[in-house]
């Protein structure tokens, strides 16, 4: 069986263990390690959370801003948290790693953006454009359909019922 060493107590444990059986420390790569308050926050992951699950405040919970997270979750149906999260996600993309670590990792410089950073920035901008376009369509389409319906109703009213007079018996 493959094994690794617990980063906390040094005990040899199963490679797939999500927590150390001896000291209970969450192990890297597990969900519990990801959300553990002691784990440094990853900037890329924060951006992904904000853009994909931001309406539910997932990036807020991840950044340990639990009150804000609950507010997002309560009001997600208004679409407002989703829009704010989109802006926040874009801000994280353009925020320097050092700035992010100063804000969310107590100044521990743990984030080092790799070659994916420009791709992420491009995807963010694209998602923002799509979001804005879908809002415009969501507002404009029902208005257009309403206009069409009214125009149709009006032309039906103006139209004479029949061009030839009804035949008399």
Nearer to Zn ion by Cβ, of 5 and 66: the residue is 5
Nearer to Zn ion by Cβ, of 26 and 89: the residue is 26
For the chain, report the end-to-end CA distance as a whole number of angstroms.
99
Smallest separation, CB 6 to Zn ion (Å): 3
Residue 13's φ and ψ, nearest 5 degrees, are -130, 170
Residue 104's φ and ψ, nearest 5 degrees, are -115, -10
Nearer to Zn ion by Cβ, of 39 and 44: the residue is 39
Nearer to Zn ion by Cβ, of 27 and 46: the residue is 27
Smallest separation, CB 14 to Zn ion (Å): 12
Residues near Zn ion (CB under 5 A) are 6, 8-9, 11, 20, 22-23, 25
Cβ(76)–Cβ(114) under 8 Å? no
Of 68, 92, 120, 43, residue with least CA distance to 58: 68
Smallest separation, CB 35 to Zn ion (Å): 18
Nearer to Zn ion by Cβ, of 8 and 44: the residue is 8
Smallest separation, CB 105 to Zn ion (Å): 23
Smallest separation, CB 58 to Zn ion (Å): 28
DSSP letters of 130-160? HHHHHHHHHHHHHHHHHHHHHHHHHHHHHS-
Helical H runs in the chain? 31-35, 43-53, 58-62, 66-75, 80-94, 97-104, 117-158
Residue 44 sits at the vertex; the CA angle it makes with 53 and 57, to the nearest 5 degrees, is: 25
């Amino acid at each position: 069986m493959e094994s690794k060493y617990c980063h906390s107590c040094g005990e040899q444990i199963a490679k797939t263990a999500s927590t150390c059986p001896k000291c209970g420390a969450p192990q890297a790569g597990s969900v519990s390690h990801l959300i553990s308050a002691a784990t440094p926050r990853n900037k890329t992951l924060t951006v992904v959370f904000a853009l994909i699950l931001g309406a539910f405040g997932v990036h807020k919970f991840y950044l340990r801003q639990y009150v804000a997270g609950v507010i997002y979750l309560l009001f997600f149906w208004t679409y407002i948290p989703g829009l704010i999260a989109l802006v926040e996600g874009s801000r994280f993309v353009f925020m320097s790693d050092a700035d992010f670590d100063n804000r969310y990792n107590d100044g521990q410089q743990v984030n080092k953006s790799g070659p994916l950073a420009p791709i992420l920035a491009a995807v963010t901008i694209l998602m923002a454009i799509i979001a804005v376009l879908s809002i415009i369509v969501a507002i404009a389409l029902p208005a257009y359909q309403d206009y069409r319906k009214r125009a149709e109703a009006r032309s039906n009213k103006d139209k004479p019922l029949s061009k030839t007079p009804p035949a008399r018996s």
